[in-house]
Structure 1
Amino acid sequence: MQTRHFAQLIFLSALWGASFPLIRIASPAFGPWGLAGLRCALAAVVLAVIMRVMNERWPVRAAWPRLAVLSVLTIAAPFLLFNYAALSLPAGYSAILNATAPLFSMLGAAAMGDERLTRRRLAGCALGFAGVALLVRLGPVAVETKVVLAALACTLASASYGVGAILMKRATLTQQPLGASAVAHVGATVVLLLPTAVTAPSMRPTTAAVLTVLLLGMVTSGLMYWISMRLMREIPATAATSSALMIPLFGVTWGALFLDEPVTSGMLPGALLVLAATVLITGFNPLRPRRG
C-alpha cells in the first residue's frame, strides 16, 4: 500500500468518526427511517450534481440491479441500524462495534475466495480491538432489552458494511466509482422512500438536527462514499475497511477538541495499537522501498 492510500484511510476515518455523535443528534429528531432516507437523498443529489459538472455518464442499466444490492448492504441497512442504535447507545459504543467491520470483511473475502486469510491480518484485527478498548472508556450501561437490541443492530450494520465492501471492490472493477456511488445512493433512496414518507409526520427537526443531516448526507455519505470507492479500486476490500479501526480514535479526538471531553490515559497506547493493527491489515509499511 502506498503512502497516499494510507493517508486517505486516515482522512476517511477522521470524518466518519464524527458521524456517530452527529447521528446521536439527528436520530431522535428525524427517527431512524427518516434520517436514513434524508441522508441518502442528499447524498444522491450531491453525487448527481458532481456527475453533471464532471460530465460523467451514468452506469448502464444492466449494472443497476447489482448496484442496488450494494446500496442495501453498504448504505440503507447500515444507516437504518446505526440510527436505531443511536436512540439507546452512546456514540462510543456504536463506534466500537463499527470497528468489527474489517473482521467481517476479512472473513467474507476469504470465504468468497477474493483474499487470503493470513495470520498477519488475524493478528491485526485482534490488536485493533485491543486498541479500541483502550481508546474509548465505556461508562456503565444497564443491560436492558433495548440496549442488547441496539448492540445487535450495530453488529449487524458492521457485518453488512464488511460483506458489502467485497461487492464494492468488485463493482469498482467494472464501473466508475462516481457513477456507481451515485446509483447506489439513488437505489438506497428508493428503498427508504416509503418508510421515510410514512414517518414524516412524527419528525421533530431542530436547527441542530437539520444542520447535522446536511453534514451527514452531503459529506460523510455522498462525498466520502465516492472517495471510499475510488480508494477501493486500488487496494483490497479488507484494507479499505480497516479505516473502521481508527474511527474510535478520531471520535475521542473530536470529543476532546470540540466538546471538551477528557482525554483518557489509555488514549496514547490505544492509538498506537490501532495504528499498528491498521498497518498489519493493510500491509502498509512506510519504511519499505517501493517497487517499480
Structure 2
Amino acid sequence: MGEIAGVLAALVSSGLGGTAIGATRYLIGLTDPLSLGAFRFGIGVVLLLPVALLRRERWPGARDWPAVAALGLLFFALFPVLFNASLIHTTAARGALALSTLPVLTMLIAALFGVERLTRRKSAGVSIAMGGVALALLAGLANAPEGAWRGDLLMVAAALCMALYSVSARPLMARSGPVAFTSIAMGVGAICLTAASAFRGGFASVANFGTVQWIAILYLGVFGGAVVFILWAYALERTTPTRVAVSITVNPIMAALVGALLLHEPIAWNLIVGLLAVFLGIWVATTEPSWPSGSAGSAARRG
C-alpha cells in the first residue's frame, strides 16, 4: 500500500507540475528566470516550513547539511533557472516532453550509482522512450518557435538535475522527514535565487504585474513550489526513484492542455505519437519482474 501511495503521489505531483509549466510559459515573457524561480520557491519554502514544524519531523543532521545544501543548489537553484530559461525558447508542450526524459535519465543515474540494476529490458525501454522524444522534438521543428531546440536542450539539462536529485535525496530523506528535508533544500535554493535576482535587478519587472500575473505567481508558489515537492518527497520516501520518475509522463499532457487553452499553442501529431512512444518505453523499462527477496541488494534494485 505504501508503494502504491507513493506512485499516486508522484502522479498528482507530475500533473500539477505540468500545469506549472504552462504558468511558467505564460509568465516568462514578463520577467526573468531568476526572479520567477525566487518567487516560486520563496513562496514554497514559506509554506513548507510550518508544515514540517506542525508534523514535528526530524531535521537533517549536521553531517548531512553539506549534501542537503548541495542538492538544494542543484534542484532549487540550477534546475529552475534551466527550466524557466528553456520556456523562453520553446512551447509548454515541447518543454514538458523534453522534461519527460527524466525517467530515462533517472534509470541511467540509478544504475551508475548502484541503486537500481539496468537490464536489457530497461535498456530497450530507454531506447523506445528516447526515440519517442526525438520524434516529437525533431519532427516538429518546422512548426516550432525559432530556436526551439535551445529550449529543448535546456529542459533536458533541467531533467538531468531532477534525476540526480531524485536518486541522491532518497537516503538523506530516510534519515529525516521528507517535508523537513525539502524545506531546507528549497530554502537554500530560494535564498540563492533571491540574492542573484536582486543583484541583477530582476525584481523590477514585477512593478508591471497585474492581478492575473500575481495569481499566476501565487499558483506557481503554492502548487508548483510547495504542493508539487511535498508530494514528490512523499513519493521518493515510499518507492524507487525510477517508479517516481515514470510519473513525469503525465506532465506533457497537462502542459499541452494548459498551453493550448491559455497560450493557443498547437498540439501537433508528432507530439502525440512521441508521447505515446515515451509511455511505451517507460512501461517496457519499469514492468520487469522484481528480484527474488533473497537476492543480494534486491530491495535497492527493483525498478
TM category, shorter: 0.7 to 0.9
- The equivalences for 1:9-28 within 5 A come to 9-28=10-29
Q: Which runs of 5+ in 1 are unaligned?
A: 286-292
For 1:247 and 1:184, locate their aligned partners in 2 and report how far apart those are by CA, in whole Å: 23
For 1:90 and 1:251, locate their aligned partners in 2 and report how far apart those are by CA, in whole Å: 9
For 1:4 and 1:131, locate their aligned partners in 2 and report how far apart those are by CA, in whole Å: 28
Residue identity matched to 1:178: V
- The equivalences for 1:1-292 within 5 A come to 2-129=3-130, 138=140, 140-141=143-144, 144=147, 147-198=148-199, 199-203=202-206, 204-254=208-258, 273-283=277-287
For 1:26 and 1:264, locate their aligned partners in 2 and report how far apart those are by CA, in whole Å: 23
Cα pair 2:98 2:133 within 8 Å, conserved: no
Deviates more, 1:60-69 or 1:26-35: 60-69
From the superposition, tell whether residues 256 and 153 of structure 1 become closer, same or farther in structure 2 (CA, over 3 Å).
Answer: closer
From the superposition, tell whether residues 148 and 54 of structure 1 become closer, same or farther in structure 2 (CA, over 3 Å).
Answer: same
From the superposition, tell whether residues 26 and 253 of structure 1 become closer, same or farther in structure 2 (CA, over 3 Å).
Answer: closer
* TM-score (normalizing by structure 2): 0.81
Cα pair 1:43 1:218 within 8 Å, conserved: yes
Cα pair 1:124 1:277 within 8 Å, conserved: yes
Cα pair 1:32 1:83 within 8 Å, conserved: yes
For 1:220 and 1:266, locate their aligned partners in 2 and report how far apart those are by CA, in whole Å: 27
Cα pair 2:39 2:221 within 8 Å, conserved: yes
Residue identity matched to 2:223: V
Cα pair 2:3 2:238 within 8 Å, conserved: no
Over residues 192-211 of structure 1, what are the superposed CA-to-partner deviations in whole Å (9 max), with x where a residue is unaligned?
12112132224442322221
Please report how far the alpha carbon of residue 242 of structure 1 lies from its aligned counterpart in structure 2 after TM superposition.
1.7
Deviates more, 1:176-185 or 1:191-200: 191-200
For 1:91 and 1:150, locate their aligned partners in 2 and report how far apart those are by CA, in whole Å: 10
CA-based RMSD of the aligned residues comes to: 2.9
Cα pair 2:71 2:169 within 8 Å, conserved: yes
For 1:256 and 1:148, locate their aligned partners in 2 and report how far apart those are by CA, in whole Å: 20
Secondary structure (helix, strand or coil) at the match of 2:89 reads coil
For 2:212 and 2:286, locate their aligned partners in 1 and report how far apart those are by CA, in whole Å: 37
From the superposition, tell whether residues 256 and 202 of structure 1 become closer, same or farther in structure 2 (CA, over 3 Å).
Answer: closer
Please report how far the alpha carbon of residue 131 of structure 1 lies from its aligned counterpart in structure 2 after TM superposition.
5.2
Please report how far the alpha carbon of residue 66 of structure 1 lies from its aligned counterpart in structure 2 after TM superposition.
1.1
For 2:193 and 2:247, locate their aligned partners in 1 and report how far apart those are by CA, in whole Å: 27
Residue identity matched to 2:53: R
From the superposition, tell whether residues 90 and 60 of structure 1 become closer, same or farther in structure 2 (CA, over 3 Å).
Answer: same
Please report how far the alpha carbon of residue 2 of structure 1 lies from its aligned counterpart in structure 2 after TM superposition.
4.6
Please report how far the alpha carbon of residue 170 of structure 1 lies from its aligned counterpart in structure 2 after TM superposition.
2.3
Cα pair 1:98 1:157 within 8 Å, conserved: yes
Cα pair 2:48 2:183 within 8 Å, conserved: yes
Please report how far the alpha carbon of residue 148 of structure 1 lies from its aligned counterpart in structure 2 after TM superposition.
4.3
Residue identity matched to 1:35: L
Please report how far the alpha carbon of residue 269 of structure 1 lies from its aligned counterpart in structure 2 after TM superposition.
6.5
* TM-score (normalizing by structure 1): 0.83
Please report how far the alpha carbon of residue 119 of structure 1 lies from its aligned counterpart in structure 2 after TM superposition.
1.9
Please report how far the alpha carbon of residue 89 of structure 1 lies from its aligned counterpart in structure 2 after TM superposition.
1.3
> How many residue pairs get matched?
283
From the superposition, tell whether residues 130 and 252 of structure 1 become closer, same or farther in structure 2 (CA, over 3 Å).
Answer: farther
Residue identity matched to 1:51: A
Please report how far the alpha carbon of residue 165 of structure 1 lies from its aligned counterpart in structure 2 after TM superposition.
1.4
For 2:63 and 2:250, locate their aligned partners in 1 and report how far apart those are by CA, in whole Å: 36
Over residues 29-61 of structure 1, what are the superposed CA-to-partner deviations in whole Å (9 max), with x where a residue is unaligned?
231110011111111001012123323353334
